[in-house]
Amino acid sequence: MALNSRSAALPAKARVAPQMDADDTADHGGPEDPDVIGGLFYLGYRDGKGQESARDIVLRRVIWRAEKLQVAAHCLLRDQYRCFIVSNFITFANGRTGELIANPHRFLEGLAPIGAEPPSGPARRRDDTGFAQPKKLNVAAMRKELRDLVRPAAILLMAMAKADERLTKEEVGVIGDLVWQGARTTHAIAQTEMLTAMVEEMCALQPTPNLITRALNATLDRGAFPEDLPSWLSRMARADGAIVPEEHAAYRAILSTLRRLVEARAGRS
């Protein structure tokens, strides 16, 4: 399942070393693994106040500070350099391939500056994976949240995919990317079995005209997912390498219905 990342178009500031600030010290100079340092990663993180967030980061340095392994990175969410404590990681994944890194502490520890000794004693205690222990997961609630988020867009994408009465592996890949992006929004990215089942469920949808109208209404709600629906529809139409007349007609019908719904809402306001 592909992960859509911004690695190909990073701002220039993301490609240079971090500037010194209140959270940075001169001990950032460590070995630079070209496959890791400067790479794009997905990070699910819990800060010191217990607040959870998801973001893409460009890794710059790995350091020990205050007996804690930390990474200095350019945070694409905040567009600034930040330091993150590795033991607070909830999810850590390769931002280019989407591959989950099961033990981030072990993965990153070897990149700390040569000669820096890890601390001993209670400060080193953590679980076997190196992750911060998340709150007890309610998988059923997580599944419902993800389904409610992606289902309206999936209905519309499947209407496009099934317009020519066939479903290709490339079109399934588009649905997979939609579910993956939804999982990042709902912090369900580590639930791989659930994501696989969700892709299968979305691909089994049978869009009817009424279902399509309801899905379009849902996409008009504030904060609807995904942000750029027409580009997703266009991507689905091109997924198998050719846009056939049936797909073009389905695309026009969906956008026509969407315009009608927008006009109807404007008339009621």
Helix 245-268 and helix 209-219: axis angle, to 10°? 60
pLDDT tens-digit profile of 167-193?
888 999 999 999 988 888 877 766 778
Output the pTM of the full model: 0.51
Q: Which residue, 51, 56, 133, is CA-closest to 90?
A: 133
Residue with tokens 């949808």: 205
Average pLDDT over residues 260-264: 84
pLDDT tens-digit profile of 103-161?
888 888 877 765 555 555 444 444 444 444 445 557 788 889 899 999 999 999 999 88
Res 1: pLDDT: 38
Average pLDDT over residues 234-255: 84
Cα–Cα distance, 77 to 80 (Å, whole number): 8
High-pLDDT (> 90) share of the chain, %? 17
Res 15: pLDDT: 37
Burial of residue 72 (CB within 10 Å: 0-12, 13-18, 19+) is: buried
User: What does 59-70 look like in DSSP terms, one character per residue?
Assistant: EEEEEEETTEEE
Residue with tokens 């009817």: 208
Res 36: pLDDT: 67
Q: Which residue, 104, 31, 36, 26, is CA-closest to 65?
A: 26
Res 175: pLDDT: 93
Contact 51, 40 (CB under 8 A): no
Look over the chain and give the mean of its residue pLDDT values, rounded to a whole number. 76
- Angle (nearest 5°) at CA 40 between 49 and 127: 45
Residue with tokens 């709150």: 135
Between the ranges 7-21, 90-104, 116-130, where is the mean pLDDT highest? 90-104
